[in-house]
Every structure is written in C-alpha cells, then in structure tokens.
Chain A
Amino acid sequence: MSSPTNLAVQHTFTAYLEDRPGALSRVSALFLRRNYNIISLTVGRSGTPGVSRLTVVVEADAAQARLVEANLYKLVNVLRVEDVTYSPTISRELMFVKLRGPAHARDALELLCAAAQARIVDETPGATIVEVVGTQRDNELLIDKLGPFGVMEIVRTGVAAIKRGSQVLDPQPHFINATVPTSGEAA
C-alpha cells in the first residue's frame, strides 16, 4: 500500500494573511477543526503593509497536504498559499538556549558555538545564553551537544521559510494556480 506520497512527512507552507483581528485564530482554528497535525506556525509582518507572512509546518501525506492548501485558501483573509516542501527552500528558526552558570568549560562552549554558527549573547553569574539560527534539525543536534553544559531553558520560534532563487510569492496575484493531486499521484 505505502508509496512515498502516502507517507506523512513534514510539509512546509508559506502564506500571506491579511493582518486583521482574528485572522490568525482562523488559521489555527482550521488546523484544529480539520484534525491536521501542526508542527509549527510562525507569523510576522511582510513587506506589504497590512499583510502578514506565515510559515506553517504540518505533518501530512500528499493528499492531506493539498487539502491543507485548499482549506487555507477557503479562509477569506488568506491571500496566498504555497506548499514549498519540494522546492529549494531556506527554512530557519531562531533558538535561544540558557545554560546554567558561567560556562565551566568556556573554551569548549566557544568551539561548539563557532562550529554551529551560534553566539553567546548573554553571560551573568547565573547563566549563559546561546543564540543560534538554524534548521530545526541543526538546532536539535545543537541542543544535544549543549546538554553537558547544563541546559536550563530552550526557546524556539518555529521555522520561517523562503524559496531560493529570484521567484517571489506575490501576496495579491491575479490568479492562483493551486493544485490538488490525482489519485495516481496520491495512491
């Protein structure tokens, strides 16, 4: 039965949403109502005034992913949706890790940070804070490596994504070319 597209994988959607009261609730309510398994949802201002940019990561098979897209489009405040899962994309999240006390092996921590392109952004007698921007996977690996330094608290924003290359996502397209799969593709 199982072909690759039948498997649930992490799908990343980027979307533009009108910046109005309740608009974000509609998006998150949709995932609850349709029983979609949401991994992360990030939102911030876009380059267009009054328009927010979202990145949503959902665990879904190919058919469900298309339904996520179609259902997002049904929301009146959603301007544009794109499933970027299979496009060349840069996906990053910001993470802070608070470590216990002044780093006892300061050199080792600095080496680790340099290798992970992380920075020490705060040091007090009680704690050291490491900041990093990376993929979810990189950040998870870093958390493991930071374990011996005494992790007190982790803050992760969830990923934001952008497609590589010169193509941009237009918030107000004249038409959309959304897709739904054929059974051949999905079965």
Chain B
Amino acid sequence: MAISYKTEPKETEAGAAAENTATVVRPDPVKRTGAQIVWEVLTQEGIDTVFGYPGGAILPVYDAMLDYKIRHVLVRHEQGASHMADGYARATGKVGVAIATSGPGATNLVTGIATAMLDSSPVVFITGQVPSALLGKDAFQETDIVGITMPITKHNYLVTRAQDIAKTIREAFYVARSGRPGPVLVDITKDAQQATIDYVPDYSPVTLPGYRPRLETPQREYAMAAELIKSAKRPVVLAGRGIIQSGAEHELRTYIEKTQTPAALTLHGLGCLPSQHPLNLGMMGMHGEAWVNTAIQEADLLLAFGMRFDDRVTGNLATYARDAKKIHIEIDPAEVHKNVRADVALIGDLREVLQRLLPVVGGKGHADWVDHINSLRGDSAVRDIKNLPDHGKLFAAHVIHDLHRITKGRAVVVTDVGQHQMWEAQYYHHDTSRSLITSGGLGTMGFALPAAIGARFGRPEAEIWVVAGDGGFQMTACELATCAQEGIKVNIAIINNGYLGMVRQWQEFFYKRRYAATPITSPDFVKLAEAHGLTGLRVEKRGELEGVVERARNTPGTVIIDFRVEQEDAVYPMVPAGADLQDMIRRPQAAPSPLAETGADE
C-alpha cells in the first residue's frame, strides 16, 4: 500500500488576488533605488540586525544602508557573516541575514551556506553581482554564485532588474522560513541596485505555484500509526531538531507521558525535553549513551519525530533496529525512506501531526520496558561526575560539567566541532530548546565564535558561552575583533588539548596512534584576547575553574578562558563509523583516568 500526502487545498489564486485588489488600498508609488528597496524589504520583514562585509558590487546597498535603522555588524571574514546569520536564526527561530560582495565575498560565504543547509537553518544571503551587461564576461570579481550554491541552498535567485528585487527578497524569506527551513541566496547585479524605479511596497502573502510547504497526511495513515503504537511493547521516541523547529516541545512531552514511551534525543534534539525528565534517555548515536543505543536496538517500535536517521545516529543501516517497526514523522517527504524504511510516514508539520495523533493514542504504558532500560543505565556509563575526587588534572568533562553547574544549566552554549562538542553534549545537560547551537550535519570547524556572535544579537538577555577546540577556534578567531568593535559580550571556553583532538582520537583507535598532522600549536590565547582589547584568562587546575569562570561572567565584554586540559583524552563511548550501533567502544575500565565509568560515581 502506498502512503500518500497532499498539499492543503488552497483557495484559487485568482480568487485570492481579486480579494486583495478589492480591499487593499495601494499607496502611491515612491521613487526608490534597487539598493533602497533591499532595505525597505528587510525592514518590512522585521529584520533588526544583518551581518556582512562590503565590496564593489554591493556598494550601492551599503550606501543606502545609512538611511535605514537596521544594525549592520561588520565581520572580519564573510564566513563569519554566514555563521553569525545562522547562529542568529538558530537562537531565535527567525530568519538570519548575511550580506557580501561578488566574487571572493560570495565564495567566502559558501561554507556557511552549506552549514545552514545541512542543519535546515533559515538564512537569507544577499550578494552583489557584477553589472548585468558584464555577466558571463569574466568581469572583475565575477563568479557564478547562483551556480555554485545551487546544491547547497534551498533555492536561489539572480536578480538583474530593480523592479524584481522586492518580490524576490520577499520570496526568499518565505522559502527560507516555511516548510523545512533552509538557506536562500539572492544575487543582485550592481545595475539593479543602482536603478531607480517607482516602488510600491507589497504586503500580500507570497504564493509560489510550485512551492507547497504545507503538506498533509490523510487520516488513514494516522489510523495505521495508532495501530502500530497500540501493539508495541518496546517503543522508543527518537526526538530530533524538528521538535524545536516546529515548536512541538509540549506535544512531545504530552505524547511520551500519555503513552509512557521513553525518548532518545539526537544531538540537535538536545534541549527539546528537560534532561532530567524520567522518560528522557539522553543522546543517541556515535557518542550517545550505551543504554540509549541498546534500547534502540532492542526496540520493537521507533517513532522518529523530526529527525532524519543521519549515519552518525544509525551506525550500520543493515543492522539498525532490525526488530522495530518505524513511524516517521517528517515535514520533508524526501527524507522518508532515504536511509531507513518507514512502515508509516506522517508527512507534515510535526506539531500539527502530533496534535492529530495525540487523541488516538494512549494505553497502560510500558513499565517493564522502561525498567529494563533503566537497568541498562544503572550498570553502564554514569556521567554524573560531581563527586569525583580532584586528581589535580583538568579534564574537558570537568570543564563542561562545572560550566553547567555554575551557569545553572541556563546558558546558551554554542559549540565548535570535535571532541569538546561531544563532551558538551554529554555533560552540559540542556533543558530548553535553542540552548545548544552546534553544527551537526556539516560539522563545520570555526562555526562556534561567529555563531555565538549571531546568537548574541538575537538573544540580548541570554548568557552565551562558546565551547571551542584550540584547532577550530583558530579558524575564525578573527571575529574576536568583531566582538571588540561591536562591544558585545560572549564568554569563550577554549578546550585546549594541543591536538585536533577528534581526529587524533580516530588515529588512536583506527590508525595505530600515528598522529599525522594532529598535534597543533596555538597562539597564547590570553594575549590574543588582550591584543583585541578583550579579557583573557587561563585555567590549568580544576581548583581554579570556578573562580575564573565567575570572573569571566562578571567581566564586561568578551572573555576568553584558555582551559589547558588533558591532551590525550578520548570521547567515550563511541560507535566507529559504519559499525553496528550496539558495538560501542567503551572507556577502558583499567584506564588511569579518573573518569572511569562505574555505577559508584553516582
């Protein structure tokens, strides 16, 4: 039997248009340049901050900017602008905006665009392009950025006429934020920015004939799902970022409580359910908890809520949850059956789907199953290390654990990519949505600092911590100057292990400890901060940690703390890439590490 979905029947477009012209009084046109229209539309879209870097092909837009209220943050590298806009979007749920010039300005955005694409982050990128008469002539600073970014944007546009700018940018915002969100790029030729036209702002809803973001699943599929749920004895909910994107936290909680189903979280799902909730198992996947992965492998029903069965989550697909039926709730039909075959697919906005599903599920719960998982948890890794004796050494886990304690778990943590990212996920217990911002899909080193700057502008009230490795931090460390120029405060914890640690760990496990190109030196991060007019602090022993963290929190402006941690520590447990999920590498019990996992640590 086929599963079907359909778009919402919408009123005829002719009807809607007729209604618009009848009721909306059109204001008189005003003379505006294309460049001014860019800012008019950004203002109309409610944008308060944009991140960018000027250059020849975008100069008209920059010139016009001075007459508008939107704050522009000057970055040090366009990659920074792309991650800032992305961080802003992830922290707020609103659309982020980044601006760059043609050629090298545009290509410098590429890593950030791909990062936003892989994590479904709504960002609008605006780039300048050479004048339309020069297109295709290899003019100075001409690159085909629309061609380059076609596979890494949700959609993109080349605009060559001033009269198309407003319509296109409005469409870009609509496409970026609706359905499964994603990045949209608008490339505007310089002559289009310069031309003056009669401009009338348009407030009517955007409709695109081929774009139908609101999909709906027929009732019969819900009945099939309810049937599977009813007969399941060992169900597990797999909670992903879709919960946060659709604002379905309440529905998730209601579902698991009503059906007494335990929930495992993806990296991007962390925060969507309080970490201490009795039915919250914790993180799944490559560096997830052993009991979580075991529970998934033993389950007879998996309920995937807004997650896409990434290979970092499933391990070997051939042996993944073989006994389990799968119900996949997804907004993007192209995700269903992509990696894991679903038995029932409920296509649509997760929150709406759960609201429809909730009335038809219930039951007595699965006490035996939950007890069983808890017993797995009991004799397995215990991550609560608060009672560990101080061995005089500083472990990254200490840092994250203590940061969690000192910030009372209320900070927004923006991580880079590597071991520190996984330790953060394991030891900083997130209780609220959008409190963890991390590059999961693309795994982009250099993401953390700029993304945190973006989050800073989106969430002025929040305490923001960067958790970065010594390697990745150096990739975008130039944005410290942006922090200084903008006078903003982010706290930066550099987990300094002297290695490209995650790669070193793979070399340790899978390449006979041949550390090719992973030992890395760093500048003196304290002096680096000071050179930017910022504050730099250092922690070498656990005993110093609390005082220094408190000092950082109470110091105005951006502060770097250089945490000199154990150099050759590894992230445990670990499912090697492509291995069966239950075959985890566990922390060696005889290891001299004070983090040896025993049930007694509790």
Seen from chain A, the residues whose Cβ lies within 8 Å of a Cβ on chain B are 18, 21-22, 25-26, 29, 32-33, 63, 66-67, 70-71, 73-80, 172, 174-187
Question: How far is it, in angstroms, between the C-alpha of A176 and the C-alpha of B10 when the chains are bound?
Answer: 11
Cβ-defined contact, B2 with A185, below 8 A: yes
**Closest chain B CB from A118 CB (angstroms):** 38
- 27 A-B Cβ contacts within 8 A? A21-B158, A25-B147, A63-B337, A73-B334, A74-B332, A76-B208, A76-B211, A80-B210, A172-B209, A174-B9, A174-B10, A175-B7, A175-B9, A176-B7, A176-B212, A178-B4, A178-B5, A178-B6, A180-B2, A180-B3, A180-B4, A180-B345, A181-B2, A182-B342, A182-B343, A183-B326, A183-B341
Cβ-defined contact, B210 with A29, below 8 A: no
**Closest chain A CB from B213 CB (angstroms):** 10
Question: How far is it, in angstroms, between the C-alpha of A78 and the C-alpha of B334 when the chains are bound?
Answer: 14
Identify which of B151, B333, B338, B347 contacts A33 (C-beta below 8 A). B151
- B301 at the binding interface (Cβ < 8 Å): no
Question: Scoring B residues 554 to 573 as 1 if CB is less than 8 Å from chain A, else 0, what string do you get?
Answer: 00000000000000000000
Instruction: Give chain B residues whose Cβ lies under 8 Å from the Cβ of A174.
Output: 7, 9-10, 12
Cβ-defined contact, A175 with B8, below 8 A: yes
Chain B, range 299-349, C-beta contacts under 8 Å to A = 326, 332-334, 336-338, 341-345, 347
State the majority secondary structure of interface residues on A: mixed
Interface residue count on the B side (C-beta < 8 Å): 37
Identify which of A25, A29, A67, A182 contacts B3 (C-beta below 8 A). A182
Instruction: Give chain B residues whose Cβ lies under 8 Å from the Cβ of A75.
Output: 155, 210
Seen from chain B, the residues whose Cβ lies within 8 Å of a Cβ on chain A are 1-10, 12, 146-147, 150-151, 154-155, 158, 175, 208-212, 326, 332-334, 336-338, 341-345, 347
When A67-B337, A74-B334 are in contact, do A177 and B6 touch as well, CB less than 8 Å? Answer: yes
Instruction: Give chain A residues whose Cβ lies under 8 Å from the Cβ of B147.
Output: 22, 25
Instruction: Give chain A residues whose Cβ lies under 8 Å from the Cβ of B175.
Output: 76
Identify which of B3, B208, B210 contacts A179 (C-beta below 8 A). B3
Which chain A residue lies CB-closest to B337?
A63
Question: How far is it, in angstroms, between the C-alpha of A181 and the C-alpha of B338 when the chains are bound?
Answer: 11
When A25-B147, A25-B150 are in contact, do A63 and B4 touch as well, CB less than 8 Å? Answer: no
Instruction: Give chain B residues whose Cβ lies under 8 Å from the Cβ of A177.
Output: 4-6
Instruction: Give chain A residues whose Cβ lies under 8 Å from the Cβ of B9.
Output: 174-175
When A175-B7, A180-B345, A183-B343 are in contact, do A67 and B334 touch as well, CB less than 8 Å? Answer: yes
**Closest chain B CB from A46 CB (angstroms):** 13
Cβ-defined contact, A66 with B337, below 8 A: yes
Instruction: Give chain A residues whose Cβ lies under 8 Å from the Cβ of B347.
Output: 180
Question: How far is it, in angstroms, between the C-alpha of A33 and the C-alpha of B10 when the chains are bound?
Answer: 32
Instruction: Give chain A residues whose Cβ lies under 8 Å from the Cβ of B345.
Output: 180
Give 10 nearest A-B pairs by CB, closest first.
A70-B334, A183-B341, A179-B2, A70-B333, A79-B210, A76-B155, A175-B6, A175-B7, A33-B151, A76-B211
Question: How far is it, in angstroms, between the C-alpha of A76 and the C-alpha of B154 when the chains are bound?
Answer: 8
Question: How far is it, in angstroms, between the C-alpha of A74 and the C-alpha of B209 when the chains are bound?
Answer: 12
When A74-B334, A182-B3 are in contact, do A187 and B209 touch as well, CB less than 8 Å? Answer: no
Question: How far is it, in angstroms, between the C-alpha of A21 and the C-alpha of B347 when the chains are bound?
Answer: 31
Cβ-defined contact, A22 with B343, below 8 A: no
**Closest chain A CB from B541 CB (angstroms):** 50
When A78-B210, A180-B345 are in contact, do A22 and B7 touch as well, CB less than 8 Å? Answer: no
Question: How far is it, in angstroms, between the C-alpha of A73 and the C-alpha of B3 when the chains are bound?
Answer: 16
**Closest chain B CB from A177 CB (angstroms):** 5
Question: How far is it, in angstroms, between the C-alpha of A70 and the C-alpha of B331 when the chains are bound?
Answer: 12
Question: How far is it, in angstroms, between the C-alpha of A78 and the C-alpha of B210 when the chains are bound?
Answer: 5
New A-B pairs, 12, CB < 8 Å, besides A74-B332, A180-B5: A22-B150, A70-B332, A70-B336, A73-B212, A74-B334, A76-B175, A76-B211, A177-B6, A181-B2, A181-B3, A181-B337, A183-B341
